[in-house]
Amino acid sequence: MIPTLSELRHCFEGAVPSVIATCAPDGTPNVAYLSQVHFVDAEHVALTFQFFNTTRKNILVNPRAVVQVVDPVSAAHYRLQLEYLRTETEGPLFESMKAKLAGIASHTGMSKVFRLQGSDVYRVLDIECVFGESSARDAPRQPLLHGLRACLAELVGCTDLATLFDSALQGLERHCGIRHAMLLVHDAARARLYTVASRGYPQSGVGSEIGIGEGIIGVAARERSPIRIGYAAQEYLYSRVVREGFEKSTAGDALETSIPFPGLADSGSQLAVPVSCGDRLHGVLYVESPQERRFTYEEEDALVVLAGQLSLSIELLAHTAEHHEETAVAAAPPCAVRGAAVAIKHFAADHSVFVDNDYLIKGVAGAIFWKLVRDHADAGRSEFSNRELRLDPTLKLPDITDNLEARLILLQRRLADRCTCIAIEKTGRGRFRLNVGRPLTLTDVPGR
């Protein structure tokens, strides 16, 4: 039986190199190996344009080509009759192939040689089975669809963002066997992404940041497209991205690199999927594995569905939080304050906050923290609501589309990571409590 193009995606992962035959107008054939065959949709594939070689020359004057791909399990051979349509030099398809090529180049020691100049898009005219049977249907695989279903079922019951994020990452581990994952939230005003949840790393890395367009996560965010790399690609690894970001940053931005990324030092496979709703980017879901070629098109599909559900849940929870804030419950007795005073220093210029000279947080989350500890010190307050933060003119919060809840999660988790005597405890929908265990000494350093 002739498979569909979708059923052949596992032959495009590069385990067995594919070959392309083209023909010059004078009838001279040419046959060459391909770095990758990229599945575009049910009727199109894209091939890499790296050099102006004979294949390239041929397809520009004679658009017909035939590609032979091999099933990496059964060794079945398939021929795809192709017609060249166009070359894309920017956008999601290009960036996705560029990242994948970087992984292949790194794997084969060709980093300096392979550079993507364009993505050549072809229409698939015909598929022919040369010999063998596809392994796609009967190979024993982890039942991903079942795992995804279980993941999604657990998201349904989540009534706040923190639980939603944690459930998603926990579900990936429990039901899909994906053990290293993180969620980053988009800070549109600063064109950056900050980590709010992670799983499978020695350090949570909450609060660590990456710029839009930087590394695999930043590129996925910029292009609103999933990016998947099957080998360690040096230029997309965190360590490299963060180091370069640090080198480029001015002294004022150095704090951005002061929270280390939780990512694996020697990641073998990476997959970053944007969490977006229409034009609005909420963040990026990122998974990785020390194993090479761990993620296939199947995992990519599953994570795109999961990210879609996450984004809808984020929208729904934000709407609910704004419109259905719970009324205040009776304040709990304040926890005992004892011990030596803790020095809290706030720099108004960037709202960076230091606790006993250790960096805690900055930006909007830093401004919120400063308001909370001030109100606690001045008025003895411990109970707060999201609404009052939203309405507080001193905080200058971005508009309603900004995810205040995500910033509170960030603050809550940074405190849990870095500070034993101050904690934020959720007390209801849109309400929380500031628990302070030691006396506070507040110092405000005015900005320019």
Partner 1 sequence: MTTETRLPILDETRAQFLSHHVSILVASCNAACMPSVVRAYGCRVAPDRRAITVFLSVAQSTAVLRDLGAGGAIAVVFSRPTTHETLQLKGARASIAPLADGDRELTLAYGCSFGEEVASVGFGEPFQRAIMSGTGEEAVAVTFTPAAAFEQTPGPSAGQPLAVKS
Residues that bind partner 1 (CB under 8 A): 17, 19-25, 27-33, 51, 53-54, 62, 64-66, 68, 70, 72-77, 79, 108, 110, 113-114, 130-132
Sequence-distant (6+) residues with CB within 8 A of 84 are: 59, 60, 63, 64, 65, 120, 121, 122
Structure tokens at 173: 């581990």
Nearest to 355 by CA among 342, 365, 367: 342
Which CB atom, from 21 or from 416, has the smaller least distance to partner 1?
21
Which CB atom, from 53 or from 443, has the smaller least distance to partner 1?
53
Question: What is the nearest approach in angstroms of partner 1 to the Cβ of residue 59?
Answer: 10
Question: What is the nearest approach in angstroms of partner 1 to the Cβ of residue 350?
Answer: 47
Question: What is the nearest approach in angstroms of partner 1 to the Cβ of residue 138?
Answer: 13
Which CB atom, from 33 or from 330, has the smaller least distance to partner 1?
33
Which CB atom, from 120 or from 223, has the smaller least distance to partner 1?
120
Query: What's the distance, CA 382 to chain centroid?
Result: 35
Sequence-distant (6+) residues with CB within 8 A of 239 are: 261, 263, 265
Which CB atom, from 293 or from 374, has the smaller least distance to partner 1?
293
Question: What is the nearest approach in angstroms of partner 1 to the Cβ of residue 23?
Answer: 4
Which CB atom, from 131 or from 247, has the smaller least distance to partner 1?
131
Question: What is the nearest approach in angstroms of partner 1 to the Cβ of residue 62?
Answer: 5
Helix (H) or strand (E) run with residue 44 in it:
strand 44-49
Sequence-distant (6+) residues with CB within 8 A of 26 are: none
Instruction: Give CA–CA dist 159/145, Å, rounded.
Output: 25
Which CB atom, from 2 or from 113, has the smaller least distance to partner 1?
113
Question: What is the nearest approach in angstroms of partner 1 to the Cβ of residue 45?
Answer: 16
Instruction: Evaluate whether 108 touches 100 at the Cβ level (below 8 Å).
Output: no
DSSP 236: G
Please, what's the b/e burial string for 157-183 (b: 16 or more CB within 10 A of its CB; e: otherwise)? Answer: ebebbbbbbbbbbbbbbebbebbbbbb
- List, in sequence order, the alpha helices (H) in 22-117: 54-61, 92-107
Question: What is the nearest approach in angstroms of partner 1 to the Cβ of residue 224?
Answer: 32
Which CB atom, from 101 or from 183, has the smaller least distance to partner 1?
101
**3-state SS assignment for residue 206:** coil
Question: What is the nearest approach in angstroms of partner 1 to the Cβ of residue 38?
Answer: 18
Question: What is the nearest approach in angstroms of partner 1 to the Cβ of residue 298?
Answer: 20
Give every strand in the sheet of 269-277, ordered side by side.
Answer: 209-211, 192-199, 180-187, 280-289, 269-277, 227-229
What are the counts of helices (DSSP H) followed by strands (DSSP E) for the chain?
10, 20
Nearest to 430 by CA among 350, 353, 320: 320
Which CB atom, from 24 or from 277, has the smaller least distance to partner 1?
24
